[in-house]
Structure 1
Amino acid sequence: MTGAVPTVTLGDGLTVSRIGFGGMALSHVYGDSDPDQALRTLHHAVDHGTTFIDTADVYGEPREGADGPAGTNEELIAKLLASRRGEVQIATKFGIAGRIGVPGAPPTRGDRAYVRSACEASLRRLGTDVIDLYYLHRRQLDIPIEETVGAMAELVAEGKVRHLGLSEVTAAELRAAAAVHPIAAVQSEWSLWSRDVEARVVPAAREVGAGFVPYSPLGRGFLTGAMTPERIAGSMLRNEPRFVEHFAANQHVVDLVRSIGQEIGATPAQVALAWLWSQGEAFGLPVVPIPGTRSPQRVTENADALRVRLSPDQRSRLDKAAELVHGDRNLTFTSKNWISAARE
């Protein structure tokens, strides 16, 4: 069964479902995950029209004795692709050459040899001969981004990749990359409480003709009101001030989102997603958020947000949510350069 989720064209002619699915939610960083249930959730997403699936080579439970990308999230998604490859637009990423979620920012690599070997490894794990959207997850700062994107462009020319994307890049990095090869999408954290990309990166994406793919559009679950101290304690967020020390103070943001949802008969998650789409319209570029979940019911709930409409007054009130936020968006176990705002 195919759902009624509409499609949208990002940059470089890449057409995807209007909402995507963030595969990282199915991995261990948010606590133990049942792979059978994860696969059922993925099938449910595609059944109901959410066909843009996002993963990365570094997502998943690290193998014993391995320091590099885990790859287990790609292997999980390969089970979906085995029977439904033609229905799915698959995005994956490379560039983080070490483990995430542990103290100390993992190393990054963007040299030509690594670009090629990482792509070949992802193709094998995904069980496909082409990746629809291949992102540079984090750039290696001492290698010009033009060099890395040039190597990525070779993969397009060889038919191994269809479109290129960049994650957590600055406006200047994006412009430099787009001069080498068209960029279909920029991925960065963007939500009601994480809006730094609006200053420079979002306008630059519009300028170069790229779409925007916000990750953590629900504030890593916080904006839904479903996060509890107990859930946070069992995840990679357990040491994050925004979620722990400032948990009570940041409930004011949740209360605002919830109150507007009550006015229009929508859930907090749907309000947060509807606000992002309206921001895309305001900035004049396609926006495809990729919320993650382990629940089929939440997949449906998120897709139903496409029917939610916010009034100008409600948008204005939500725009003020960022003023209520305590704590930074950068995760404490990474360096300050891990997010684009630190390099602007």
Structure 2
Amino acid sequence: MTNINATVPLSVLPRSGEKVSRLGFGAMGLSGMFGSQDDDYMVRSILMSLEKGINFIDTARAYGRSEELVGKAIKQWRGDKPFIATKAEAMAGGGGRKHPGAAWHEPHRVEEAFPPGSIRASLEKSLQELQLECVDLLQLHKYWPIWDRTDYWMEELLRLKEEGKTRFVGISAIDHRHDLTLSLIRSGHIDFLQALFNIFDSTALDAVIPECQEHDVAFIARIILDEGGLTGFLRQDTVFNEGDFRRSYFDVLPRETYMSKVDALRSYVPEHAGSLAELAIRFALQDPGVTVAITSMQVHEYAEQNIAASQQPPLANQVYEELCYQHRWIRNFYHARRYL
């Protein structure tokens, strides 16, 4: 693994014993979904994060040119190879494709999302873009338990692992529906589970994270800053550019509602954290059952701040408990854009 700065917190992967940085580089931002930067700037953001001790990168086929940019950065990197995770592109409801009943919030047949051979084809394309012969982790970019009625997709994942094209396999759970993966966690087939986890939605602590610990499944927390909302940046007059993912994310309900929920967290700053972003990152890293917490770090200034936040000590237990149970706020991301 990479030459790790001793001050960056580390996790031990339960099934291999290797060490990875607890804060991971989420590469969705390299797609331009949160605003665009030029290629050189984004490659430098990866290299800067690696230099500061981050050695876990999470990308996906559905993230535009993200894999290509990660591949360029890895070629330039002179340290030990970081841990590279990617996700297979779904044929329905993923990668920008429109398909009736195929959105993340609506169950659909696995044959529609991942037809036979599609997982292999997606990984082959990922390997080409990343300029690698093997990824460390291949995840399905969605999962519904009704898929367990047939097992060709799991056989395909495990075959790719046997062939040495991926070291580990896992699932990226659908938004708040991570409890749907419990049977899969207990099956022993997957090595990693990725799920939404932040101050507003800490429900993974109730069952999923303990089950992952019980069954030696590494847990990847995503959206730990709630797509930036937990940093407090959102204002009533904030305007998102065309193509920015957040245009629909924050406006599925009145903005003042969201902003009021964030304002309720400001009382913890600066007594318990230097900023709202620091509070959110420390929250995400508090429980030892969180193996890695990923967040977009394509903006250099934010990457430095996030890494510095990860180096801070744990929150006081009382503060953590308050955040867990007094600030939970589960919302429907889809009611305003169901048919978009």
TM-score interval for Structure 1 and Structure 2 normalised by the shorter chain: 0.7 to 0.9
Letter in 2 for 1:312: N
Letter in 1 for 2:67: E
Instruction: Report the equivalent of 2:95.
Output: 99
**Structure 2 unaligned residues grouped into runs of 5+:** none
Which secondary structure state, in structure 2, belongs to the residue aligned with residue 239 of structure 1? helix
Give 1:148's match in structure 2, choosing from 145, 153, 156: 153
Give 2:299's match in structure 1, choosing from 292, 295, 299: 295
**Residues 55 and 332 of structure 1, relative CA distance in 2, 3 Å threshold:** farther
**Residue 191 of structure 1: how far off its partner (Å):** 0.5
**Residue 125 of structure 1: how far off its partner (Å):** 0.8
How many residues are matched? 317
Instruction: Report the equivalent of 1:236.
Output: 245
Deviations 1:80-100 (A, max 9, x none): 111338331100001422433
Contact kept, 8 Å, 2:114 with 2:153, in 1: the verdict is: yes
Task: Find the aligned partners of 2:31 and 2:171 in 1 and give their Cα distance.
Answer: 22
Contact kept, 8 Å, 2:127 with 2:134, in 1: the verdict is: yes
Contact kept, 8 Å, 1:7 with 1:15, in 2: the verdict is: yes
- TM-score, L = length of structure 2: 0.82
Instruction: Report the equivalent of 1:17.
Output: 21
Task: Find the aligned partners of 2:298 and 2:89 in 1 and give their Cα distance.
Answer: 26
Instruction: Report the equivalent of 2:66.
Output: 73
Give 1:86's match in structure 2, choosing from 80, 86, 106: 80
Which secondary structure state, in structure 2, belongs to the residue aligned with residue 264 of structure 1? coil
Give 1:128's match in structure 2, choosing from 125, 132, 135: 132
Instruction: Report the equivalent of 2:169.
Output: 164
Which secondary structure state, in structure 1, belongs to the residue aligned with residue 226 of structure 2? coil
**Residues 303 and 142 of structure 1, relative CA distance in 2, 3 Å threshold:** same
Letter in 2 for 1:83: Q
1:8 aligns with 2:24: no
Cα RMSD between the aligned structures? 2.9
**Residue 115 of structure 1: how far off its partner (Å):** 1.6
1:310 aligns with 2:289: no
**Residues 87 and 256 of structure 1, relative CA distance in 2, 3 Å threshold:** farther
Contact kept, 8 Å, 1:103 with 1:333, in 2: the verdict is: no
**Residue 267 of structure 1: how far off its partner (Å):** 1.7
- TM-score, L = length of structure 1: 0.81
Give 1:260's match in structure 2, choosing from 249, 268, 275: 268
Which secondary structure state, in structure 2, belongs to the residue aligned with residue 166 of structure 1? strand
Contact kept, 8 Å, 2:89 with 2:95, in 1: the verdict is: no
Deviations 1:292-323 (A, max 9, x none): 13322211211222313311232233234535
Comparing 163-172 with 138-147, greater Cα deviation is found at 138-147
**Residues 103 and 223 of structure 1, relative CA distance in 2, 3 Å threshold:** farther
Letter in 2 for 1:309: P
Contact kept, 8 Å, 2:173 with 2:181, in 1: the verdict is: no
**Residue 220 of structure 1: how far off its partner (Å):** 0.6
Which secondary structure state, in structure 2, belongs to the residue aligned with residue 289 of structure 1? strand
**Residues 100 and 39 of structure 1, relative CA distance in 2, 3 Å threshold:** same
Letter in 1 for 2:205: E
Task: Find the aligned partners of 1:46 and 1:146 in 2 and give their Cα distance.
Answer: 37
Letter in 1 for 2:54: T
Deviations 1:189-248 (A, max 9, x none): 1101123433433233223211211111001100001234434464223234x5463321
**Residues 77 and 333 of structure 1, relative CA distance in 2, 3 Å threshold:** farther
Contact kept, 8 Å, 1:54 with 1:91, in 2: the verdict is: yes
Letter in 1 for 2:49: A
Identity %: 25
